[in-house]
Chain A
């Protein structure tokens, strides 16, 4: 499970907090503002933008709590929080998942966290080549988040009932 190192830093300001359906229009506006809100730490904000889009789209695509648009398109519902710490940005997403999927996700986080950059790159190439594509995408979002941030993923599973849990994921993006 997660350690509490990151949580203990969560005393600084929250620059974005949202709970609801993760429509692409919203993700895009939030992401663009994150990338452009000031001139400082431009490299960190570029990485933050990429991680923000990737993990937000995971919520949109995979949350078990979702809205249907025109009876066709499924838009995941979840939460996100972005905190501005002294030396880093802290981005967290949270969404509902099947209990069995939570275990799979936790296992993926552990594998990614245990890998160095070279191994991550190898995993990324392997996973992308073997992904069935189409609606499944590349299935490399978690790998990409760790490669970009150079920090491990922190995850937390919160039981809702016998079938579902909340899965939250936090990534730290250093400013320097």
Chain B
């Protein structure tokens, strides 16, 4: 499996920065997410997590640092959380941390909805 590294650019702020690392067992998504053709962007990320949970099967830490994601992106994030939940149910170890700005209470509600819809426990952590 290859790592995924996507850097962000001020000219395309609608794409998040992505760092998925097989050796470290970490996935980080950071910035904002409201690109066109959302599923096309997220599909390689979803497939990476599917592969990791089926082939590597080591503990995985997911750190989400999105300050904004549109509703199409929320559908893709939910897909990822459902894969993680299946991994956990099959005995895998996974930790999901969601970093949020405390001045944005709507994000806390969003994360609560993700937890309810996916069944995956999400740790809410304030941005420093």
A interface, CB within 8 angstroms of B: 24, 28, 32, 42-43, 46-47, 49-50, 53-54, 57, 60, 73, 121, 124-125, 128-129, 131, 133-135, 137-141, 144, 148
Contact = CB atoms under 8 A, between A and B. Distances in A.
A125 B34 contact: no
Contact of A124 (B37, B68, B104, B113): B113
Interface string B37-50: 11100000000000
Contact of A133 (B35, B68, B79): B79
Contact-residue bracket for chain B: 20 to 34
A132 to B, nearest CB: 9
A53 B106 CA distance: 15
B74 interface: yes
Contact of A128 (B35, B68, B75, B109): B75
A57 B117 contact: no
B8 to A, nearest CB: 13
B75 A133 contact: yes
A28 B78 contact: no
Contacts of A32: 13
Given A133-B79, A148-B106, A54 B116 contact: no
Nearest to B109: A121
Given A28-B14, A47-B106, A53-B34, A128 B72 contact: no
Interface centre among B13, B71, B76, B103 (most CB of A within 10 A): B71
Contact of A138 (B68, B71, B109): B71
Chain B: interface secondary structure? helix
B71 A144 contact: yes
A28 B76 CA distance: 20
Contacts of B38: 137
Nearest to A24: B36
Interface in B79-107: 79, 103-104, 106
Interface in B18-41: 34-39
B80 to A, nearest CB: 12
12 contacts: A24-B34, A24-B36, A28-B14, A46-B104, A73-B36, A73-B37, A125-B117, A128-B71, A128-B113, A133-B79, A135-B39, A137-B75
B114 to A, nearest CB: 10
B70 interface: yes
Nearest to B67: A46
Contact of A28 (B13, B79, B113): B13
Contacts of A125: 113, 116-117
A66 B115 CA distance: 37
Contact of B68 (A49, A60, A121, A139): A49
B68 A50 contact: yes
Contacts of A60: 36
Contacts of B39: 133-135
